[in-house]
Amino acid sequence: MHDAPEAFICDIPKPLKEMLPDYRKIEKAIEGPILEFFGLIGPMPSAVKAADMIMLATEQRQIMNNRDPWRWTLKPLEDATLECLEPQAAYELFIARANELGIF
């Protein structure tokens, strides 16, 4: 759910997002009600953001076949094999996991 605000205000690449402080304010203002709606407590733990940055590095290496020198990108997972899914399959897995966790 850490990217949920992007459903309402679009996803912006990290380098651009860093230059838009007002975007971050809007993102935070939207995140609170979303978390509340799903019964989650904010703010997101720093471990969530760290995991997101590790996965970004892993996606860069495996899917995008590059390794941009972004200062905030952490070391990729060495033993991960990412599986690219069709949107419907990803949706179904997401909903199934959310149901397992009692989010929906």
Q: Which long-range contacts (CB under 8 A, 24 or more apart) does 46-53 make?
A: 48/2, 49/2, 50/74, 52/2, 52/3
User: With pLDDT > 70 as the criterion, what percentage of the chain qualifies?
Assistant: 92
Terminus-to-terminus CA distance in the chain, angstroms? 12
Least confident of 36-50, 66-80, 87-101: 66-80
Q: Does residue 67 carry a pLDDT above 70?
A: no
Tell me the pLDDT of the chain averaged across its residues: 87
Three-state secondary structure call for residue 97? helix
Q: Does residue 65 carry a pLDDT above 70?
A: yes
Q: Does residue 44 carry a pLDDT above 90?
A: no
